[in-house]
A and B are shown apart, each in its own frame.
Chain A
Amino acid sequence: MPTKESPARPGSSVMLQGLKVIGVAIRTEPRIFTGAVVASAVYGAMTVASSWALGWATDNAVLPAFRDGAAGTGTLVVAALLIVGVAVLKAAGIMGRRIMAGIHQYRMQAHSRRAVTRQYLRLPLAWHHRHPTGQLLSNANSDVEAAWAPLAPLPMAVGVVVMLVTAAVAIVLVDPVLAVVGFLIFPAVAVLNLVYQRRLSPLAMRAQQLRAEVSEVAHESFDGALVVKTLGREDAETARFQAKADALRDANVAVGRVRGLFDPMLEALPTLGVLAVLLVGSLRLESGGVAAGDLIQVAYLFTLLAFPIRALGWVLAELPRSVVGWTRVTDVLDATGSMEYGTARLDASGPARVEAEGVSYAYVPGSPVLKDVRFAVAPGRTIALVGPTGAGKSTLTQLLARLIDPGEGVVRVDGVDLREVARGEVSASVALVPQQTFLFDDTVRGNIALGGQEPDERVWAALRLAQADGFVSALPSGLDTRIGERGATLSGGQRQRLALARALVREPRLLILDDATSSVDPQVEKRILYGLRDGAAEATVIVVAYRMATIALADEVVYLEQGVVTDHGTHEQLLARCAGYRDLVTAYEREEAERAALDISEDTDEEVVA
């Protein structure tokens, strides 16, 4: 599966890229981010203020009381109020920071999810063919989450940077020599963080990759649960999954080893800083460079910073994952090769004219599945597209509905190259019922109207034409019955008929049915086909079919073999002159004839024995 998404662009500048990702978040939501940082600053200031308040209380209320042997009620009340007041502000800071950081993060997630899924809806089907479902799902989920994970601790970290600068200034003012200690410790923290990130990022990326793989295996396995069950392969599947889960475990342990090493070191550094300050300070005290009180103050600043400084580490810890996530998200956002739309409209009324001219298509470069296909369909005609399994019929129907564009050649409707038609115009005139039925997890009505405002009468009319009115009216809530994911509660033929009704309700000018009645029993199929012939005369119909009943309805037959149109004409003409076609459509009859012959010979055998 050729996917060009780079799982990671590892190397030196993870940190730099990570900061860029954060930059994007800040530029997108500057207000809420600023709010969070302000709240964080309030928290920082109040952290300092709380010790100041306590100090004030000690100096002005506690000590005088002990000295004088009597409590001054006034100052005591003021002191208590001061302590509580500062705490209220600090709490408000924490609350504001948390809530706003959360809002920032969630908004960014929502932005990205929208942007990514808009791309999914915009990019051509050929792009979807190249990208595994699991990958696209994780792009919109885990990758988005990883990309914005650093936003949660970010405001706190920014607050810390401000605190650090303030502290540095304060220390310099107290004593330049002690400041040198500070300037050694703070960069040491930064350097340690950098080393940490460099060691961690490849491991974290691998873990992230494996996490996606574990989900992919689970997804696929649960998707194929029926096959797993019917073939009794639960053990093998569990082993396959467990192998991936174990790889993830090992990757996580490897991450844990690095985290486990660096986290305690980062935690220890500020304390070591305090100790260094004391040591150096004791020397400075000796030489009289600083007063004991100043030393206490500096040491206090260090203790104050010990906890919040780790917030920096939290942000940094999320950066590698964030970069990987963001890279994958931008790979989707930057994906080009979207379908180009022109300005032409398909606003003629009545059945459409369709032409294919020199159309080729290859899923895999070098092995075309359609080669120089050309045919024309006059308005109002019904064409049967016949050919062996794998001949390229479904591919051709997708080209006619412009789900994909031809590699070479042109598809025209009403004489207009489909590539020149404006967005939305093709689907307004052309309806394709794909071979593989897809239903949305929605109501019957939602699945048929697809968000359109079709009145109920028209929905019912389409259901009648698709022979689906009977079972739909028997559903518990009729049109409003929800059918489960991919229509799980309906039988195959019922699903197919809903898909058919979905096409019919739009009264398309070109109706393309890709083997759309394969799960429907012959009687119902016959009723559908007669209904189509009598009622939907307003459309040109192209129908992929094997069954004679369907072919019988067609005015002409296009016979496709290995991607090439080998014949085109009426059924009788093809029957007379095209051996492949004859073989295909008369297979049942010949089978029956042969069996009859066989039965006769068996009977005679028995007679002989008897």
Chain B
Amino acid sequence: MTAVTDPATGTAAGESSSLRSADRGALETFKQGLRLSPEFRHGLAGTLVLAVLATLGKVVVPIAVQQVIDRGLGSGEPDLPFIRNAVALCALAVVLTALCGYLMNVRLYRSTESGLAALRGKGFRHVHDLSVLTQNTERRGGLVSRVTGDVDQISTFMQWGGLMVIVSAGQLVVATVLMAVYSWQLTLIVWACFLPLVLALPRFQRLVAKAYTKVRERAGDVLAAVSESVVGSAVIRAYGSEDRTAERIDTAVDGMRAAQTRAQKIVGFTFPATELVASITVALVVVAGVWLGVADSITAGRLIAFLFLITLFISPLQTATEVLNEAQNAIAGWRRILGVLDTPADVADPENGETLPRGPISVRFDGVGFAYPGGPPVLHDVSVEIPPRTRVAVVGETGSGKTTFAKLLTRLMDPTSGRILVDGTDLRTVSFSSLRERIVMVPQDGFLFDSTLEDNIRFGRPSATREEITRALTELGLADWLDGLPAGLDSPVGQRGESLSAGERQLVALARAYLADPDLLLLDEATSAVDPATEVRLARALDGVTRGRTAVSIAHRLSTAQAADEVLVFEHGRIVQRGPHAVLVEQPGVYADLYASWTTATTVH
């Protein structure tokens, strides 16, 4: 199995991802991976004992069978009673071996699956802990694969390969000891032949690892291309760009196939190497054996028995190469999940963060500057104070930094310079749970989960009852709208809320945030797709209920600004004007211009 099984197999665009691509070595990755999942060690002693027994069975039984054949049949008159007794013993051993194998497997599955399930959970959680910026550097599909397909990659190895290493090592030791009993000189030859191979394996390993990393990356491209054809289906149809999309998919699919084939070729070339080395060894042993025999230090019978032992020696080595491939996959998988876990949550929940008491809230921006990673500054020296119980409107051209301002205020990102204070406390020292309780933002596009309306609104406050949800909608003046829906609160909203109209989605997102009942509600163009009548109703309702709270609204519809206590006017990342609407319209400047466009926009001459 090269790549496993989920909608989101795949790496994301390697070049842009800012997730750590853990550059530690294979062994270090492996160790770190094991350390991450203590569940793997659960009941390990018992499993090991079973593994040793199963291995012993696997090694001893063929030898025994060989012996039975040799002793019972090989030398002249067949010794029938011996054969029968030996057969019975061997059969018993076979059954016991199988039993041990079964028990070992069950224990292994249980411990590894538990470990992997926990690992998925850890990875998933950490993805959510990463800042939005870090999350955005990787495609969604790539992130998903890190907690699904990449983890699956580990399972085959852990359930089969991991113990196979132990089993094979056991077999190797047993075979070496037995061989040495027959002839130490020949044993030396055998080891002399295989040592270079063993030493060369890590080199192969790296080659193979590289090839598989490529495969995963290409798989990520495929996923991205496919998801485009699904998510963008409307646009693709509207512009008749089916052929172009198909081409993009083909390129990705071919890229993946080429990478897979290349990886397979590398494995295909390296895998039979053991076979070749083995044959050379046998040939050498025959030659050397004869030479030794002639020198009278080994008998013909012992030489032949020795040749049989070499086969016992080869099969674990072959398994080891197989295991190595699995180990490659597993390590690639581990690297990617470790890549998530190693990436520091740059906007982290502070340890022992402060819990601020609920109530009226004030916010202060103190010389705040911000630049997106690798980009020019988009906010410059923003200093502003938002006293408790004020309603602030933020206006400005698109791209002037309003959303950036909002993201800083909700601590989705940290400023590159300056600081932000809530109630006099640096935002960075406030615990997330307290912060998220007090400040809630409704983002530009209201993402909904594929569930019912009720569930989506309750997302704001899980403890809310159905009555509270209905009441919230009523308070927001949305009761009529709710009554118009065929299934009311039980209406399914579809994937990403796509069974609702864009405006309706915004209504739900707003209700969700409203239900969360924060001290500061921040609306980032949260009603941009809602019709004016509904918007005015909403604004009035919010006004009524947010009295006593702080509200920040970003909007292009200047009716919001007119109703606000204070207007912040952004231009090119600076606050260029501030004050109440009535004052600002009187001054020549950005706001007056905006307002002029807005009034010609709202009234028809």
Contacts and interface: CB of A to CB of B under 8 A. Distances in A.
Given A145-B5, A242-B117, A515-B529, A261 B603 contact: no
Interface in B58-112: 61-62, 65, 68-69, 72-74, 78, 80, 83-84, 87, 90-91, 94-95, 97-99, 101-102, 104-106, 108-110
B559 A592 contact: yes
A214 B116 CA distance: 13
B310 to A, nearest CB: 10
B532 A61 contact: no
Contact of B117 (A102, A134, A246): A246
Interface stretch (A88-96, A156-164, A346-354, A455-463): A88-96
Contacts of A212: 6-7
A428 B241 CA distance: 10
Nearest to B598: A522
B533 A584 contact: yes
B384 interface: no
A449 to B, nearest CB: 9
Nearest to A65: B290
B587 interface: no
A327 interface: no
Nearest to A547: B601
Interface in A231-260: 231-234, 236-238, 241-242, 245-246, 248-249, 252-253, 255-257, 259-260
15 contacts: A84-B279, A132-B450, A145-B4, A146-B5, A215-B149, A222-B143, A282-B78, A285-B73, A285-B78, A388-B534, A430-B238, A494-B399, A522-B594, A547-B532, A590-B536
B601 A548 contact: yes
Contacts of B113: 249, 252-253, 256
Given A84-B280, A98-B264, A121-B246, A142 B559 contact: no
A406 interface: no
A234 B125 contact: yes
A19 interface: no
B80 A282 contact: yes
Contacts of A17: none
Contact of B6 (A79, A214, A232): A214
Interface in B228-282: 228-247, 249-250, 253-254, 256-257, 260-261, 264-265, 267-269, 271-273, 275-276, 278-280, 282
B355 to A, nearest CB: 13
Interface string A388-399: 111011100010
B199 interface: no
Given A489-B372, A521-B397, A110 B287 contact: no
Contact of B125 (A110, A238, A256, A436): A238
A430 B238 CA distance: 8
Given A94-B275, A227-B459, A519-B528, A588 B94 contact: no
Given A234-B128, A435-B502, A450-B244, 9 more contacts: A62-B286, A65-B294, A87-B278, A113-B253, A225-B128, A282-B80, A493-B399, A494-B399, A549-B600
A413 B195 CA distance: 78
A335 interface: no
A121 B117 contact: no
B36 to A, nearest CB: 15
Contacts of A98: 264, 267-268, 271
Contact of B247 (A149, A451, A471): A451
Contacts of A394: 501-502
Contacts of B283: 79-81, 83-84
A98 B531 CA distance: 63
B226 A249 contact: no
Contact of A587 (B72, B91, B300, B536): B536
Contacts of B87: 275, 278-279, 282
Question: B interface, by DSSP: helix, strand, loop or mixed?
Answer: helix
Contacts of A79: 283, 286
Interface string A91-118: 1101100110011001101100110011
A106 B530 contact: no
Contacts of B397: 493, 521, 523-524
* From A232, A246, A363, residue with most partner B Cβ within 10 Å: A232
Contacts of B129: 234
Contacts of B300: 62-63, 66
B380 interface: no
B322 to A, nearest CB: 11
Interface in A62-77: 62-63, 65-66, 69-71, 76
Interface string B429-454: 00011011100111111111110000
Contact of A230 (B147, B256, B395, B443): B443
A137 interface: yes
Nearest to A470: B399
A120 B229 contact: yes
A485 interface: yes
Nearest to A83: B283
A401 B83 CA distance: 84
Interface string B517-533: 00000000100111111
Interface in A352-394: 363-364, 367, 387-390, 392-394
Contacts of A271: 61-62, 65, 90, 94
B557 A588 contact: yes
A120 B530 CA distance: 31
Nearest to B250: A114
**Which 4 A-B pairs give the minimum distances between C-beta atoms?**
A493-B398, A260-B105, A232-B436, A256-B109
Contacts of B121: 238, 241-242, 245
Contacts of A81: 283
B224 A441 contact: yes
B200 interface: no
Interface in B8-38: 8-10, 16
Contacts of A286: 80
B136 interface: yes
Interface stretch (A4-12, A179-187, A295-303, A532-540): A295-303
Nearest to B532: A587
Given A234-B129, A296-B74, A548-B603, A491 B398 contact: yes
Counting contact residues on chain A (CB < 8 A from B), the size range is 35 or more
Given A102-B268, A587-B536, A71 B291 contact: yes
Contacts of B559: 588, 591-592
B140 A275 contact: no
Interface stretch (A50-58, A166-174, A194-202): A50-58
A471 B399 contact: yes
A209 to B, nearest CB: 11
A393 B78 CA distance: 94
Contacts of A412: none
Interface stretch (A21-29, A262-270, A600-608): A262-270
Nearest to B264: A102
Contact of A260 (B109, B245, B593): B109
A272 B559 CA distance: 86
Contacts of A234: 125, 128-129
Contacts of A551: 604
B323 to A, nearest CB: 16
Contacts of B271: 94-95, 98
B9 A142 contact: yes
Interface string A467-498: 00001000000000000111011011110010
B534 A389 contact: yes
Interface in A115-147: 117-118, 120-122, 125, 128-129, 132-138, 140-142, 145-146
B486 interface: yes
Given A145-B3, A214-B148, A436-B502, A252 B495 contact: no
A497 to B, nearest CB: 8
Contact of B556 (A424, A491, A520): A520
Contacts of A420: none
Contacts of A410: none
B132 A107 contact: no
B462 interface: yes
